[in-house]
Amino acid sequence: MKLAVDGLSFNYDSQPVLNEVTLTIDPGEIVTIIGPNGSGKSTFLRCLARILLPAQGVIYLDGRNITNLSGRALAMILGYVPQEGTKVFPLTVYEAVLLGRRPYITWVVGQRDRQVVEEILRFLQLEPLAGKTLANLSGGEKQRVMIARALAQEPRVILLDEPTSNLDIRHQLEVLGILEFLAWKKKMTVLMVLHDLNLAARFSQKLVLLHQGRIFASGSPQEVLTPENIRAVYDVEARVREDDLGVQVLPICPANGRAKL
């Protein structure tokens, strides 16, 4: 499903946070938003998920303005994984993932709902945790449950805000590998926020570099992750190398530092 954003702006009170952001993501494409803290990355995802109301601009899914979709219809095609929150509800892992089926459930949980949940638990290797309560999970396990819940919606577009936070290196690679598989196999449109520039380069077809609420650069990892862009946006000196796995960024020091490059 094609996601298109046209001139999106958002203000907190009178303070601009996003300023005329325009972006198009094709079906099966993985796009990652990068940028320093406070650049508007999470706010952008929350606007796309219709949690926040933009000051101006339009969001389209396959040409349809999302403001014209019911909440149920939107939940059937768009999944959203926020950053891990502090609230922990007294649910088991199975029950938490089953919540992702709410757009499809009318009166009772059906066989199809249980089948989808069980497949996703296997897919994310959460089966051994199915009976455990969320309160007894590690931060990384909770993160995987939140991703599983979004996938239970069977979305065609998924938005993820720092999906690798609280995950060790192996599980970071596993989660991003799963998103890569879903984009390739199911043509799922994936838009995520990552802080790790090397992971973003490794798993994304396109990067969007936000700075002060505007798109500073957009394109392939090779086009976006240049020493000049990193210096301008992050105020950091970095070496950028490319090998058979793609672009690699090695931060050196703050831009006013004295380290020899």
C-alpha to C-alpha distance for 55 and 10, rounded to whole angstroms: 5
* pLDDT at 258 (0 to 100): 57
* pLDDT at 245 (0 to 100): 84
Q: Does some domain include residue 110?
A: no
- pLDDT class for 212, splitting at 50, 70, 90? very high
- pLDDT class for 126, splitting at 50, 70, 90? very high
Range of the domain at 179: 3-85+155-225
Q: Does some domain include residue 178?
A: yes
15 burial (CB, 10 Å; 0-12 / 13-18 / 19+) is exposed
Q: Does some domain include residue 91?
A: no
Whole-number percent of the chain with pLDDT over 70: 96
Average confidence score pLDDT of the chain: 92
Q: Does some domain include residue 49?
A: yes
Confirm if 56 and 7 have CB atoms less than 8 A apart: yes
Q: Does some domain include residue 20?
A: yes
CATH code assigned at 167: 3.40.50.300
Residue range 21-37: mean pLDDT, rounded: 97
SS3 (DSSP) at 187: coil
Strands 206-211 and 189-193, by their bridges, are unpaired
Give every CB contact of residue 128 below 8 A, 6+ residues apart in sequence: none
Residue 257: pLDDT over 70: no
Q: Does some domain include residue 128?
A: no
Residue 37: pLDDT over 80: yes
- pLDDT class for 261, splitting at 50, 70, 90? very low
| Residue 118, CB-side half-sphere exposure with 13 Å CA sphere | 6
Q: Does some domain include residue 189?
A: yes
* pLDDT at 203 (0 to 100): 96
Domain count, the chain: 1
Helices assigned H by DSSP within the chain: 41-48, 71-77, 93-98, 111-123, 139-151, 169-185, 197-203, 221-224, 227-234
Q: Does some domain include residue 58?
A: yes
